[in-house]
Chain A
C-alpha cells in the first residue's frame, strides 16, 4: 500500500503531537529523522538526548558501580550485588510470579487436561532431576579440583608457618635461658644489674609480641587462601541451585495436579459420599443417623472446597498492582477533599484564614506519624474486618476484590491522602485566587451567577494549576505509600522490601535494589500520566486530540 504524501505528513504531525503531549521529547528527533528532516540536526539531538544518557547509565552501572563501588563497600552479608546479580534477582522475582500463576492453574485444572499436564510434569521432573544430578556431580568434582588447588596453594605457606613457628620457639627458649642465667648472676644491692634485668625482660616481651604478629600474619594468609572462592565453582553451584529450585517447584506443581488438586479432592469426596449412601440404605437406628450426618458433613466440605481458591504466596507483580491501587485510592480520596477546600480557599479570604492554621500544622507531618494513628482509628472502625459488611462488599467487587482490601490497606491509603493532598489544595487555591481579572469582569458584565462563574470560568481557568498540584500530589503519594506499606505491612511493594529486609537472604539486597528500579519506573509512569492530563487541560493544548 502506498501512502500518499499528505497522509504521511498527517501521521508525522500526530506522532510529533503525541510525543509533545506525553513529554517524551527525546523521541522527537527520531521521528523527524525517519522523515528525513534535517538529518544533521536530528542526529545531533539524538546524540544529545538518547546516546549521551545511555552512555551515562552504562558508565554509572558497569564502570563506576560494578567496577568500583561493589569492590569498595562491604555489607553485613558480604559484597554489594553486581548489576548482573541484580538482573538475575529480577528474573528470579519474575519467575516466582510465573510459578505462582502456574500453580494456581494447576490447582484448578481438571479432567483430561489435568492428566495430560501431569504426564508432562513427570517427564519434566525426571529431566530436571537428571540435570540436577549432573550439576551435583559437576559441583562435587569441581569442589575436588578447587580443594586440591587450594591445598597446593596452602601447603607452602603452611610449611613456612611451621618453620617460622619452630625458629621462634628456639629463639624464645634461648632468651629464656639467658634471662635465667643473668638473674642468677645478680648480686643483691646492685642497682645497675637490676636495671639491666628489667631491660632484658622488656626486650624479651617485645620480641614475643613481634613474633606473635609474624605468626598471625601467615595464619591469616592461610585462612584467606582457604576461603578463596573459585569463580568456576560459584557458577556451577549457581546452576545446581537453579535446578534444585526448579525441581522443588515442579514437585509442588505435581502435587497440585495430583493429591492436592481441587477436582481430584472433590471427586474423591463425592465417591466417598456415594459409598456412604449405599451403606446408609442397609442401616437402621443410631448407625443410620450417624452415616446420614457424616454424609451431610462431607457435602458441606465439598461445597467449601468448590469455592476455595489456591492460596499461594504474594508475588511482586501482585504487590505492585496492589500498591498502585492503594496509591490511587489515597490520591482520589485526597483530591476529593483538597480540590473543594482549595476552591473555597481561593474564593474566600476568610475561609482561607480559617484553614491556614490547619494547613500550616498538618502539612509538615510525616507519614510515619500519621500511619499508626490512622491504623488505630481504622482498626477501631472495623473491629472484625473479615466479617464486616463493607469489607465483604469490597471483596466481592469485580476487579478490586482480588486485592483483598483490609484495614492496613485503608490506613495506608488514608495516609497517602493526608500527606499528598496539600499540594493540590495549595495549587487549587492559588489557581482560583489568581484568576484573570478580565475574565471576572466578563463574568460580571454577563451577570453570571455563582455556579456559572464557578463551573464555567473559575474551575476551567484553574485546571492547569490544579493538575500541576495533582501531579505533585501523586508523586508525593507514591513516595509516602511505600513507607506506609512497610509500616502497616499492607501487602504491597513496601511490604516486599520489608520482608526481604527481615529475610536477610543472600540475594535480599539485590531484590531490594530491583524494587528501587520498579518503584522508580512506576513513579515515572504515574508522573507521565499526570503530565499528559496537565497538557490536555492547558489552554494552548486545550481539548487536543492525540
Chain B
C-alpha cells in the first residue's frame, strides 16, 4: 500500500490550461500533461521559454486555475493554494516593509495557529539559519543582496513545513556564484527535510545536478511532457563529484539534444533510464567532452 502511495505522491493527470487570446477565444497552452512524482523525489522541469513551465507549476501550487484534468497531492485533489505546497518565486517577492524575520513569520503565524509564540519564533529562526541567514534576521530587503533576498524567500517557504516545495526559476536572476550557493542550500534542505520538490529551470546543468528526474516539456502551444530523463547520481550529491562524473555530460547532452532537436515532437512521453541513455547517445562525443572538461579543471 505504502509503496503505491509513495510512487504517486503527486499525480498530475491529463492537465490542460487554456488562456483566452486577444480575440476572446480559448488558447490551449498546456495539454495532456501527465506526471507522477514519488514522495521525496526532486523533479526538474525544463523546456523552451514560454512553453508553459510556470503555468504547470502555478497550477500545481493552486495559484492558477486548472482548465482540465486534475492534480492530486497526497491522495487529495488540490483546490487552490495551501501551505502543504510552498512556492519560491523567481523574484523574491518579499514585503519590503518587513524584516527578513517578519517576512518569514508572516506565513508561520497562519499555518501554525495553535503553536506558542516561542515555538513560532524558533521555527522562523531555524528556517533562516537553514538558508544561512542566522545573523541577518533583522535586515530589511533593501539592505540585502538579491541572493540574500532569495534565501529569505526559500526560508519563508520551508518555514511552512510543506510537503511539496515548488521553485519557479528561483535562481534565474542571480549571478552564477550565488546561484551555485543557493543550489547547495536547496539540496541540503531537501536532504534534511525529505521534501518532494519541483524546480522549473532553463539551466541544463542545474536541471541535471539537482534533480532525480528531468522532465522535458515539448514546445507550446499544447505543450506536454516530451521526455523524462532519470538522473542516476546518488544522494547526497557533491557538486564536484557530480560534475566530474562522465554521465553528467551524457545527461547534459541529452537535454541539450532534446531542446535543440526533439522538443517540437509531441506524442507519448519517452522515459530514459540511466542505462539506456549511453546507448542512445554518441558515446565518443561524451568522452571527448569529458576529457576537455578534465583539461580545463
Residues of A participating in the B interface, judged by any CB pair closer than 8 Å: 436, 438-439, 441-442, 444-449, 452, 456-457, 460-461, 463, 539-540, 542-543
Contact = CB atoms under 8 A, between A and B. Distances in A.
B91 interface: yes
Contacts of B106: 446, 448, 452, 456
Nearest to A460: B97
A460 B95 contact: yes
Contacts of A446: 83, 106-107, 110-111, 156, 160
Contacts, number: 66
Contact of B95 (A439, A444, A445, A447): A439
Interface string B98-114: 10000000110111000
B12 interface: no
Q: Which 4 A-B pairs have the closest CB atoms?
A: A446-B107, A539-B96, A438-B93, A460-B97
Contacts of B110: 446-449, 452
B237 interface: no
A539 B97 contact: yes
Contacts of A540: 142
A213 to B, nearest CB: 82
B142 A539 contact: yes
B89 A438 contact: yes
A226 B142 CA distance: 77
A441 B92 CA distance: 12
Contacts of B109: 452
A506 B6 CA distance: 97
B89 A441 contact: yes
B139 to A, nearest CB: 11
A457 B93 contact: no
A319 B262 CA distance: 82
B167 interface: no
Contacts of B111: 446-447
Interface residues of B, number: 26
B164 to A, nearest CB: 12
B96 A438 contact: no
17 contacts: A441-B89, A442-B89, A444-B63, A444-B81, A445-B61, A445-B81, A445-B83, A445-B107, A446-B107, A446-B160, A448-B107, A448-B110, A449-B110, A456-B98, A461-B95, A542-B96, A543-B140
Given A445-B87, A452-B106, 7 more contacts: A441-B87, A445-B83, A445-B85, A446-B156, A447-B107, A448-B110, A456-B95
A542 B97 contact: yes
A436 B82 CA distance: 20
Contacts of A539: 96-97, 142
Contact of A542 (B85, B86, B140): B140
Given A444-B63, A446-B160, A438 B95 contact: no
A445 B97 contact: no
Contacts of A444: 62-63, 80-81
B97 A441 contact: no
A439 B103 CA distance: 11
A446 B98 CA distance: 15
A138 B81 CA distance: 94
A448 B105 CA distance: 12
A403 B289 CA distance: 87
A540 B97 CA distance: 9
A216 to B, nearest CB: 80
Contacts of B98: 456, 460
Interface string B163-196: 0000000000000000000000000000000000
A110 to B, nearest CB: 57
Contacts of A463: 97
A461 B142 CA distance: 15
Contacts of A447: 81-83, 107, 110-111
Contacts of A452: 106, 109-110
Most buried by B among A444, A448, A540: A444
A362 B107 CA distance: 42
Contacts of A449: 110
B140 A441 contact: no
Nearest to B159: A446
A460 B107 CA distance: 16
B91 A445 contact: no
A436 B142 CA distance: 17
Nearest to B64: A441
Nearest to A442: B93
B198 to A, nearest CB: 14
Given A446-B106, A542-B142, A441 B96 contact: no
A461 B93 contact: no
B196 to A, nearest CB: 16
Contact of A441 (B63, B83, B86): B63
A444 B79 CA distance: 12
A494 to B, nearest CB: 39
Contact of B93 (A439, A456, A542, A543): A439
Contacts of B156: 442, 446
Nearest to A539: B96
B107 A441 contact: no
Contacts of B89: 438, 441-442
Given A446-B160, A542-B140, A457 B95 contact: yes
Nearest to B160: A446
Contacts of A442: 89, 93, 95, 156
Contacts of A457: 95
Contacts of B63: 441, 444-445
A460 B91 CA distance: 19
A449 to B, nearest CB: 7
A543 B102 CA distance: 14
Nearest to B97: A460
A447 B62 CA distance: 11
Nearest to B109: A452
Nearest to A541: B142
B91 A438 contact: yes
A27 B80 CA distance: 54
A476 B81 CA distance: 44
A42 B107 CA distance: 49
Contacts of A439: 93, 95
Contacts of A438: 89, 91, 93
A291 B80 CA distance: 92
A543 B138 CA distance: 12
A9 B86 CA distance: 45
A169 B93 CA distance: 102
A539 B95 CA distance: 9
A531 to B, nearest CB: 19
Contacts of B83: 445-447
Nearest to B143: A542
Most buried by A among B97, B109, B111: B97
Most buried by B among A449, A456, A460: A456
A452 B109 CA distance: 10
